Amino acid sequence: MDQNQHLNKTAEAQPSENKKTRYCNGLKMFLAALSLSFIAKTLGAIIMKSSIIHIERRFEISSSLVGFIDGSFEIGNLLVIVFVSYFGSKLHRPKLIGIGCFIMGIGGVLTALPHFFMGYYRYSKETNINSSENSTSTLSTCLINQILSLNRASPEIVGKGCLKESGSYMWIYVFMGNMLRGIGETPIVPLGLSYIDDFAKEGHSSLYLGILNAIAMIGPIIGFTLGSLFSKMYVDIGYVDLSTIRITPTDSRWVGAWWLNFLVSGLFSIISSIPFFFLPQTPNKPQKKKKKKKKK
């Protein structure tokens, strides 16, 4: 009888141990997936900051407009943050985070699309600001011509060393892409942290949060590295003969391969979204399903 009782206790203990193991594995898988999304989030932020000067030069837009484009991320974030925070905990949080990462990736790819529609970049052959003297003379020439143009009918009169403003509105793609990135990034932090707080062991939430923030620092490292690398590549690399390009990265007319930054960032965000679609709503959900089947 003692042996039978011992076997029964062992049999009862095994399901509970399997449940705990699967519970821990489910939470660990979520933490691993969330770590990738945190890296993608910080990577996208750094990529935008490091590419902003090249976007300004490529689209020939004003600094104020570039600031407005950069702020579109916060606009997208504000549009959905209340709804995500309120309804997120009631829905499938891992899938919502996965959808957010996917949208964030689509936003990065959309930001890079204008490069493929605008044609080749043509820099001014007359503007070459490599020294303080050239900079001063060019600035004074620009100011003089701007003042003279106020008294003339045509606003497109520009002097030597001044660039004509572009009439292209392709920067709207960058604006919309950055806004999508803000919308997609919204559920990552609030839903991710609430999921950990709900299912992590007591006292472990702060540890997991510290680990996530530490791992997130990989994003800026990768972002600054890629930004430095791609900024040294000519914007139309792969499309034009680089031997014909007479300017260097130190030239004020130089535009780096900013679009490669967003392509890499966008694809990484899309890849980071995949694991979330295979995670359960709660770590112990598969075990509950099995119990229900047994009762039937």
- Going along the chain from its start, the domains and CATH numbers come out as 22-119+168-294 (1.20.1250.20)
Q: CA 162, 167, 168: angle at the middle one, nearest 5?
A: 120
pLDDT digit string (tens) for 237-264? 888 888 888 888 888 889 999 999 999 9
Which among 143-147, 152-156, 217-221 has the top mean pLDDT?
Answer: 217-221
Q: What is the pLDDT of residue 118?
A: 85
185: number of CA atoms within 13 Å, CB side?
Answer: 25
Higher pLDDT, 292 or 182: 182
- Overall pTM surpassing 0.85 (yes/no): no
Q: What is the pLDDT of residue 101?
A: 95
Query: Which of the residue ranges 48-57, 117-126, 191-200, 281-290 would you say has the lowest mean pLDDT?
Result: 281-290
237: number of CA atoms within 13 Å, CB side?
Answer: 14
Q: What is the pLDDT of residue 238?
A: 82
99: number of CA atoms within 13 Å, CB side?
Answer: 11
Q: What is the pLDDT of residue 296?
A: 46
* 162 pLDDT more than 90: no
CA distances from 133 to 4, 101, 138, 151 (A): 96, 48, 8, 28
Confidence of residue 149 (pLDDT cuts 50, 70, 90): very low
Average pLDDT over residues 257-279: 94
* 212 pLDDT more than 60: yes
Average pLDDT over residues 217-237: 92
Q: How many C-beta neighbours within 10 Å does residue 92 have?
A: 17
Nearest to 31, CA basis, from 202, 193, 268, 185: 193
Average pLDDT over residues 20-29: 68
* 2 pLDDT more than 80: no
Query: Which of the residue ranges 83-87, 88-92, 99-103, 145-149 would you say has the lowest mean pLDDT?
Result: 145-149
Query: Which of the residue ranges 11-25, 52-66, 119-133, 198-212 would you say has the lowest mean pLDDT?
Result: 11-25
Average pLDDT over residues 36-62: 92
* 112 pLDDT more than 90: yes
Task: In whole angstroms, give the CA distance from residue 178 to residue 76.
Answer: 8
Average pLDDT over residues 92-105: 93
Percent share of the chain, pLDDT over 70:
73
* 109 pLDDT more than 80: yes
Q: What is the pLDDT of residue 125?
A: 67
Higher pLDDT, 11 or 77: 77
| C-alpha 219 chain-centroid distance | 10
Average pLDDT over residues 127-142: 42
Q: What is the pLDDT of residue 43?
A: 94
- On whether the CB atoms of residues 222 and 21 are closer than 8 A, the answer is no
What's the mean pLDDT when you consider all of the chain?
78
Q: What is the pLDDT of residue 16?
A: 53
DSSP secondary structure letter of residue 152? S
